Structure 1
Amino acid sequence: MPPWSLISPASRGIGFALARRVLQTTNAPVVVTGRKDLANMKHEILEGLDIDEKRLTVMEVDVLDETTIADAASACKDKFPSGSHQLQLAFIVPGLLFPEKSPAQINAEDALLTFRTNTIGPMLMLKHFSPFLPKKNAGQGEIGEDRDFKGLPSISTTAIMSARVGSITDNRLGGWYSYRASKAAVNQVVKTFDNHLRTTSGENAMAVTLHPGTVKTGLSKEFWGSVKKEKLFDRDWVAERLFDVVKNVGIDGRGKCWDWDGKEVPP
């Protein structure tokens, strides 16, 4: 079945770079999402790329508003009818950080917004977009031979952004209470979702979480000065590495968290 890809959101940061990377290195249609100024967003994503602009569709999604997620999924259902297309690659990458250094800095509203953005938003994306994933009895195209599958992972893969600080095993410094907890929760959501896919999709679809490292985006700007130069990554470089990880991790890597270097991050 002809494949398509989803990157949400793709208005800035890693999502923006991933959208450009997927457009550059694959042939399939790509759907990206943003909250506002969609026409300008489309122009910026396409700028300098030698591709067919019809491959890119921009839709409005705010992960804090389930109605927008449902509406986008409905529009995708019209664009990619079930049974004749499949979602081969999805990057779900919303992120919000309030860096509480001590318990005294915890703010209930900020913590709730962190969970709504980092955890519940992706969970709702899974709710509405999982019907586009191939079922267990669905035929898979031969990736190497089918032009439409060029550059895409051989297994339909849903990748959600996590972080190394979401690892309980790796937590040696403390701090960042709501962000750490929201990312640990993301890892649990994805593991649970991947177990669901084992039943519904078999080895035709899987889910993973990703750790991008410290990337020069608005999310981490406050901390650039405290990061070694060689550990502060450009978003385009990280997008290339994460895309390669998703394509190469294979079925044995399902349900786990992988960093930009293809190494597993412990739970």
Structure 2
Amino acid sequence: MAEPASIAVVVGVAGGLGGALARTLGAQGRYDLVVGLARRRPADWPNSPEWPFIETDIQNEDDLLAAAQVLRALGSLDRVVVATGLLHGEGVAPEKTMRSLDAATLTRLFAVNAVAPALIAKHLLPLTPKDRPSVFAALSARVGSISDNRLGGWYGYRASKAALNMLIATLAIEHRRTRPLGVCVALHPGTVLTDLSAPFRKGGADDTSFIPARSAQALVELMDRLGADDNGGFFAWDGSRIEW
């Protein structure tokens, strides 16, 4: 009987960190397929049967359902990494004061940072194997930790990432019931030198900021070390636990 295909999925491969995560996972040589999901195919995405790409709008549940159907036909998913997120953009900027709070902006941040990953989990967690270890990881942020919030500000981003953390913790409880070897976690990638962090960096890389390849390598090494007892955890890129 043939061994089941080993499959890694990265959601958000059009972003700097998502693309780096896919390349890092591919370089390990342990996966038969590295599947990318995003609204647009990256220009440098490999044109290879071992690197399928599925055009997907994560805010459209019909798209997620269609992507899940494609993935189900490929086999069980050993690793799923959700590398999507919104901090700033057209009409969206981190709030410095409560006077800047805006309902539409808050709704958009929650839609991207919390609702979309939850729906991704809804459709992809059931595709993880029941008889061997797996990892489902969503990229969160340390600023989403309520216990660690000492500076204030960034209301919408903090709150939407805190919501993501609660969703992951709750998903992990249900996930354990049918997949005791599975791990469902939230990960803080550090300050990564991508478009997401660009407006908020005062200089180049330092000891607390990373190029995407460095962050991706640290995150992949961390995920490789996770075991069933880590299910439902919130971890920084260096493996340290972050308080909720």
TM-score, reference length from structure 1: 0.84
Runs (5+) with no aligned partner, structure 1: 47-51, 141-154
CA–CA separation in structure 2 for the residues paired with 1:253 and 1:199 = 15
1:77, CA displacement in angstroms? 2.1
Q: What does residue 214 of structure 2 align with?
A: 237
Q: What does residue 217 of structure 1 align with?
A: 194
Q: Does 1:66 align with 2:64?
A: no
1:45, CA displacement in angstroms? 3.2
What pairs with 1:127-138 in structure 2 (closer than 5 Å)? 127-135=122-130, 138=131
Q: What does residue 34 of structure 1 align with?
A: 38
Query: Is 2:180–2:228's contact at 8 Å kept on the other side of the alignment?
Result: no
Query: Is 1:134–1:201's contact at 8 Å kept on the other side of the alignment?
Result: yes
CA–CA separation in structure 1 for the residues paired with 2:205 and 2:78 = 36
Q: Does 1:16 align with 2:19?
A: yes
CA RMSD in angstroms comes to 1.5
Going by fraction, where is helix more abundant, 1 or 2?
Answer: 1
1:227, CA displacement in angstroms? 7.9
AA aligned to 2:85 is G
1:10, CA displacement in angstroms? 0.3
Query: Is 1:18–1:240's contact at 8 Å kept on the other side of the alignment?
Result: yes
Runs (5+) with no aligned partner, structure 2: 88-92
Q: What does residue 148 of structure 2 align with?
A: 170
Q: What does residue 9 of structure 2 align with?
A: 6
1:53, CA displacement in angstroms? 2.3
Q: Does 1:90 align with 2:93?
A: no
Q: Does 1:105 align with 2:100?
A: yes
AA aligned to 1:119 is A
Runs of 4+ in 1 over 4 A off after TM superposition: none
Query: Is 1:19–1:45's contact at 8 Å kept on the other side of the alignment?
Result: no
1:249, CA displacement in angstroms? 2.4
Q: What does residue 179 of structure 2 align with?
A: 201
Q: Percent identity over the alignment?
A: 34
Query: Is 2:183–2:227's contact at 8 Å kept on the other side of the alignment?
Result: no
Secondary structure of 2:174 counterpart: helix
Question: 1:157-204: CA deviations, max 9, x gaps?
Answer: 00001110011111000111111011111111111111011111112x
CA, structure 1 residues 227+265, in 2 after alignment: closer, same or farther (shift >3 Å)? farther
AA aligned to 2:173 is N
Query: Is 1:224–1:232's contact at 8 Å kept on the other side of the alignment?
Result: no
